[in-house]
Amino acid sequence: MRPKAEKLDATDELAGVRAQFVLDDTVYLDGNSLGALPRSVPGRVEDVVRRQWGSLRIRSWDESGWWTAPERIGDRIAPLVGAAPGQIVVGDSTSVNVFKAVVGAVRLANGGPEGPGDGEGHAGRPGPGGRDEVLVDATTFPTDGYIAASAARLTGCTLRPVTPDEVPDALSERTAAVLLNHVDYLTGRLHDLPSLTSAIHAAGAVSVWDLCHSAGALPVGLDEHGVDLAVGCTYKYLNGGPGSPAYLYVRRDLQPRFDSPLPGWNSHADPFGMTPDYTPAPGALRGRVGTPDILSMLALEAALEVWDDVSIDSVRTKSLALTDFFLECVQAYVPEGAVESVTPTAHPERGSQVALRCPDAGNVMRRLIDRGVIGDFREPDVLRFGFTPLYVGFGDVERAARVLGEMF
């Protein structure tokens, strides 16, 4: 398998991007939890701290562009998820943005602040209170489920967990919002965003997609497929750093009616007017809440520079090649029956990770890490390996599978 890995690395059009990251001699396959550090970030953060904060101080809100960072960086993320500018705002955590999106979706489904119907094929929806059910991915990352339950309570809705495959049959005239993961965090399964979004719209409901495990790894097509609302983190395949701010997408035609449950001064039409009454800002800005977390936000902005001149389609092509080769190497190196893949083999159903089930998986991963292969473990028996095409090579893949085989 080594000669094949060398041949694949020699023809890898993204191989040169690897030099833009701080890496060592380990095989880093945990970018689906925390992306590697881009080399541009330390210097940028030092400038933000020493010059912008240290010297310019309060003037940096204007002179260094701090105030406009949430929407400016949102526009940098937009092409990576298939969105036109002006629809993504960066800030807060994924959990906070899921809350905004689900509550906002229920309000949109029931007419929003301006009454039922939005002129885009949803006229005739019941008025406020008419749609009283939220569907949530039953296999979702736990926090999404917790947040969806809280949002349902707040809006007087019933929460109904269903698998993504069950969504079309579960939809009804009661459905207000549907929260789904584009890629399953545990298995790496890629769900059918276009068809599920279409089914949700046909039922008169509002779609909310969690892009945490797809943004930066594969094409999403938010605008193309008419997604209503979406959220995502930036510290996985976007390499923004630990705790880097998340983002919220609000489709342009829905922005005038998007009613955020967290109206903060940063989303006010006149934030420095300090008026007691709230008037939401126009556009995606109404997704903002409080003062932006500038240090981590500008670190993210620097990290996104690695995407200059990189096509998300080429990333997807390499991602599939990497995961294909890993599965091939696992078959070659790992004793038969020692592990079982729970990640789909079909390309249309695979994200950018491979999940393997095996006995004593936690101990196996600890031993892999000791041998310089960094993945992670999820209860009760799953080894997860994330493949970030910007810096993972085919030689890394071969080595990881070979070391894994030596564990048994």
Q: Where are the beta strands (DSSP E) in 221-303?
A: 229-232, 247-250
Domain assignment present for 92: yes
pLDDT in tens, 215-271: 999 999 999 999 999 999 999 999 999 999 999 999 999 999 999 999 999 999 999
Q: Is 350 a catalytic residue?
A: no
Instruction: Out of 30, 92, 137, 210, pick the active-site residue.
Output: 210
Are 237 and 340 members of one domain? no
Q: Please report which confidence band the pLDDT of residue 114 belongs to, taking 50, 70 and 90 as the band edges.
A: low
Is 124 a residue whose pLDDT tops 70? Answer: no
**Does residue 137 sit in the same domain as residue 204?**
yes
Q: Is the torsion defined by CA of 259, 261, 267, 268 positive or negative?
A: positive
Tell me what pLDDT residue 326 has. Answer: 98
Residue 113 pLDDT grade (very low, low, confident, very high; cuts 50, 70, 90): low
- 408 pLDDT exceeds 70? yes
Q: Which of 28, 99, 235, 394 is catalytic?
A: 235
Q: Please tell me which residue in 236, 251, 286, 399 is annotated as part of the active site.
A: 236
Our count of domains for the chain comes to 2
Q: Which one-letter DSSP state was computed for residue 391?
A: T
- Catalytic residue chosen out of the listed positions 141, 185, 325, 394: 141
Q: 130: buried, middle or exposed (CB in 10 Å: 19+, 13-18, 0-12)? A: middle
258 catalytic residue (yes or no) = no
Q: Which domain holds residue 204?
A: 68-291
% of the chain beyond a pLDDT of 90:
95
* Residues 194 and 112 occupy one common structural domain: yes
Give the number of other Cβ atoms within 10 Å of residue 82's Cβ: 17
Q: Is residue 58 part of a domain?
A: no
Is 141 an active-site residue? Answer: yes
Q: First-to-last CA distance in the chain?
A: 19
Note the pLDDT tens digit of each residue in 64-78.
Answer: 999 999 999 999 999
Region 303-327: what's the mean pLDDT? Answer: 98
Is residue 276, in this structure, part of any structural domain at all?
Answer: yes
Claim: this prediction has a pTM higher than 0.85: yes
Whether 13 is covered by a domain: the verdict is yes
For residue 161, the model assigns a pLDDT of 98
User: How many other CB atoms sit within 10 Å of the CB of residue 95?
Assistant: 16
The answer to the question of residue 104 being in a domain is: yes
Domain co-membership, 270 together with 379: no
181 and 79 inside one domain? yes
Closest CA to 73 of 55, 99, 91: 91
